[in-house]
Structure 1
Amino acid sequence: MRLLIVEDEPTLVEQLAEALAEAGYAVDVATDGEDAAYRGATEPYDAVVLDLGLPRLDGLSVLRGWRAEAVAVPVLVLTARGEWHEKVDGIDAGADDYLAKPFRMEELLARLRALIRRASGGASAVIERGGVTLDTRSARVSVAGRPIRLTGHEYRVLSYLMHHAGQVVSRSELIEHIYAQDYDRDSNTIEVFVRRLRSKLGVAAIVTERGFGYRFVDTAGPVD
């Protein structure tokens, strides 16, 4: 899963980026409204953390611009504590949720998980498919109760596929959602990650739809 942080306060940016990366997300950062507007309109993020007080273009204008262009990415707005009108304005502009500063990082992570779940039609923080369990709260994966150790990229590939279980996900879509913008992307590594996942999970849950991409299925037999 790939997120965009839109915040101009350096310390908070660093804290957010570190916490989200540790939670298993690929993270991009925009520190002004104009950059944020461009990134959100041209890159396929799974969620956005958006501060309203930004240089060059304010957060509400950024959000209204995205919605006007039919950018449906879930947006968590950061507001100043006690500024109730900011919350109302943010929701009216198209925000999906808001969080007042200062906040606990655990709450922000929980709210982001909820936004991503709702966007993919899920209701639980724990996804169980085909004998595989993915706990989005702890970024941990298990098969039949047995913990499985994954690299960051393997986890992001599996998380995206399980959030979209039953759907065919192209290689290019996976690339766009597991790498940050400034990462050196190699399309061939997707096949490597999928092969490793099949080996580690011990089940043939990830099906290759030749010419189209990959699909995570609910039921699967042993790997050949």
Structure 2
Amino acid sequence: MTNTRAWDAYSAQKAERRPTNARGETTWFNWTQYPDHGPGAELLGIDPGGNALDLGCGKGGNLAHVAALGARAVGVDVSLAQLKAAEARWGDTGGLALHRGDAARFLDGTDEDFDAVFSVFGAVWFTDPAVLLPAVRRRLRPGGVFAFSHRPPVEGCYGCQASYINRSEDEDPLIVKRWDYEPDRWLEILHEYGFTRATAQVLPAPPGPRKVGTLLVRAHG
């Protein structure tokens, strides 16, 4: 069962996206955990009039940028707190639709097909690939893009891992599951579930004291 309390607690800790990025843009796409770093929405290959699905859309910043590009942007998240924050900031954005629910269940319940499905430190990281990837594959149009990012795995810690979301000092942390794999293993898993032209790489962190890069994976339906 999805721990919705954990993700509501995470929402309270998550900083709001800046009003503008370094280029002065009010919407932008960011695959990594660092501001103004890495590639953008061009990886999705979305044209105006296309449609994209964000699995674990959080507070909706990346989703709003997809909508601003002229696509239909659909987001799903289990956290009501996250979705309320998304609605408060981006609710007037045309072409944006928000849904509360589990990512795999949403995919199984919708009859809409998508040109792109993406997840940035979102549901792909926190859902069993054996459950989620077949559901993504069914709803991704032929040739469509499936892309996701999250932290690289800790060396030697692969597969299902415990992830902790801290609360106040007098409360125990909340625990969720995440799935960590090295790039080559992600490629094998994607091919097992029928995806093609898969690539996986760890983007290095930007210059400075930071040491953790970002795992970026992309494939086609």
**What TM-score comes out, normalization by structure 2 length?**
0.29
- Structure showing the higher strand proportion among its residues: 2
